[in-house]
Amino acid sequence: MTDRIAAARRAYAEELRNRASLRSEPLVAAFARVPRERFVGPPPWRIKDPAELVDFWSGTIRDPAALYQDVLVTLDRERGINNGQPSLWALVFDRLAIPPGASIVHLGCGTGYYTAILAELAGPEATILAVEIEPGLAERARIALQPWPQARVVEGDGAHMALPDADCIVASAGATHPLALWLDALKPGGQLLFPMTSTFGPGGMLLVTRRATDGYAAEFLSSAAFIPFVGARDGRFDHPLAGALMRDRGAAVRSLRRDRHDEDQTCWLHGEGWCLSRLEPGATS
């Protein structure tokens, strides 16, 4: 690592602090430490500013310093898989309460860049399970994450496989609804972060927190656009979710209910075995 690249990484971390109004110093430090070039394959790289309505730039970027911008980096252009926008992940990670030594599950980890950020936050005593359904990406993540032995990569389907009890579950692909499998794996106080998306427009990044005694708090943190999470899609929710997000971008959501109840005016989006609710956590009417 040259001094020039290290300086670019530190400047990038400060840019993310400003863009995402970060409060967490450990998170800023994590972005300043983790080498993004380790996770995006060899040069040349195709990168894109999500604010620009153009295709990926031509593959002529060879300087690792160019990776330390708030840009997407393509991993598989044909399938639309990229490394993710750093400021979005910084913004939502800033809302996670990750204790030292936390147990974390990262679903759809790709090549593992944001898994490494989580590993830096949770420290060397953490236990991190990184799951990726694409064999090639899983192998790349396994290699790239070797400096973080607390992270274990498995090839698998995060919508159906058994999950360990976790302090934090992060999904990096869009689901139409929260899966019971994910909610059941949360420890008391645990957090689930995932993009809730339809096929009819931008979705929202949803944070669900399991309260120790009174159900689940829920809130949308930002808008989000992601590739679909295979196995976590239900077409019945596409139109209702798109309509609800268009109405208020999720601002009315306060909790996630799992109790059986009829849909009423307190329901922001009502599903089978789950409901995003306007009520405070633990309330039923």
- pLDDT confidence of residue 86: 98
Q: Does residue 115 sit within a domain?
A: no
What is the C-alpha separation between 190 and 211, in angstroms, rounded? 8
Query: How many CB atoms are closer than 10 A to CB 150?
Result: 18
- pLDDT confidence of residue 54: 58
Q: Does residue 73 sit within a domain?
A: yes
- As a whole number, mean pLDDT of residues 29-49 equals 94
Q: Does residue 65 sit within a domain?
A: yes
Q: Domain range spanning residue 81?
A: 1-87
Q: What angle do CA 182, 118, 162 make, to 5 degrees?
A: 25
What is the C-alpha separation between 36 and 226, in angstroms, rounded? 20
Q: Does residue 273 sit within a domain?
A: no
pTM over 0.85: yes
Domain count, the chain: 1
The torsion angle over the Cα atoms of residues 197, 203, 205 and 206, rounded to 10 degrees, is: -60
Q: Does residue 7 sit within a domain?
A: yes
| Per-residue pLDDT reduced to its tens digit, 50-84 | 777 555 565 578 999 999 999 999 998 888 889 99
Cis peptide before 281 (omega within 30 of 0): no
- pLDDT confidence of residue 19: 96
Q: Does residue 159 sit within a domain?
A: no
Q: Does residue 29 sit within a domain?
A: yes
- pLDDT confidence of residue 61: 86
pLDDT at 1 over 90: no
| Per-residue pLDDT reduced to its tens digit, 135-182 | 999 999 999 999 999 999 999 999 999 999 999 999 999 999 999 999
3-state secondary structure 18-71: HHHCCCCHHHHHHHHHCCHHHHCCCCCECEECCCCCCCCCCCCECCHHHHCCCC
Write down the residue that tokens 């160019």 correspond to.
Answer: 66
Q: At what angle do helices 86-93 and 25-33 cross, to 10 degrees?
A: 150
Q: Does residue 75 sit within a domain?
A: yes
> What is the DSSP code string of 236-268?
GGHHHHHHHHHHHTTTT--EEE-S-----TTEE
Binning pLDDT at 50, 70 and 90, where does residue 13 land?
very high
Q: What percent of the chain has pLDDT over 70?
A: 97
Please compute, for residue 100, the number of CA atoms within 13 A of its CA located in the half-sphere on the CB side. 4
Amino acid identity at 272: E
